[in-house]
Homo-oligomer: A and B are copies of this chain.
């Protein structure tokens, strides 16, 4: 009787990015300033090896990462502000009021506050979703979901479980990150890459024949043996931030072994990971009309796509064009929102989240009804 379960459709997508554009040249200049500060702190010149971590320029970033610019939040803004702006864009489309949502599923790795409050609370309040109606508490689900670079697809999969199981009919899915607040400015690896954006998606229950997904359309993987290649040395519960030196040295910020990430992820997503997920879904690469990969590095993604082409992939790439950086939980829905004309009914798509953990979460779907898109970028 599985045929009678509800399906899930993406009804609308909204994307917002803050107005402050940060060019590759600006990133390179900031790294130069930080190198000078470190030299002053050490009272000596850096060795060539030490200096390499700071050395970059526009040409290098375009060549090895494929990014041109990114956006940064203003001081005092955080993930909640990105989420509120994106959610209000959705509301601007009309038809759905914030109080029509059963649930807020909020994907982020950069919550506005550590520990509490979870951003879902302030978002409910800022969207004026009522807390009580006629004295009776207004039911509203909420949760924060994260899985590093795979956060958004993991959250999408969770929304599918809630809708498919009849526990929700209309979900506000947020994918938002203020990654600029996590940058170690003594290390070009992430400094050249990270950016900020917020997205909001309206997901609705539909009859099973119009399901855009299906229970076999999601596939997940964990590779914790390589967890150390994208990590944050200090600031979590295992190694709390306790010294001014660690703060000064950006030890509470993200670090990455870019070479290892590239080798592992190109091999995995370009080969057995994608093949295993397609096999579960009963698909092959030839079936995919549109694909969106988590945009951590467009050169890395290009290498994955080259491998896919060799295996029969003939579809189109939907991406953010290197103009927004790696926005983590926002990256895939941002890319979709930037390419509304590609989201045609009848197109079969693949969404590929992968990165820290290591983790991967992939989703395949078919656009069964029009998707409305609104952006403020």
> A residues touching B (Cβ–Cβ < 8 Å)?
1-2, 4-5, 73, 76-81, 103-104, 109-118, 120-126, 129, 131-132, 135-149, 154-155, 157-158, 160-162, 164-167, 177-178, 181-182, 215, 218-225, 227-228, 230-232, 235-244, 247-248, 252, 254, 268, 272-273, 276, 280, 355-361
Partner of A109 from B116, B138, B162, B276 at Cβ < 8 Å: B116
The answer to whether A118 touches B220 (Cβ under 8 A) is no
Known: A165-B160, A215-B165. A221 touches B355 (CB 8 A): no
Closest residue of chain B to A79 (Cβ to Cβ) is B237
What's the least CB distance linking A141 to chain B, in Å?
4
Known: A114-B232, A237-B178, A239-B78. A121 touches B359 (CB 8 A): yes
- Residues of B near A138 (CB, < 8 A) are 221
Known: A121-B227, A131-B225. A238 touches B113 (CB 8 A): yes
- Residues of B near A78 (CB, < 8 A) are 236-239
How many copies make up the complex? 2
What's the least CB distance linking A59 to chain B, in Å?
28
Partner of A232 from B113, B143, B149, B215 at Cβ < 8 Å: B113
- Residues of B near A2 (CB, < 8 A) are 166
The answer to whether B115 touches A110 (Cβ under 8 A) is yes
The answer to whether A115 touches B109 (Cβ under 8 A) is yes
Known: A1-B1, A115-B232, A238-B78. A227 touches B143 (CB 8 A): no
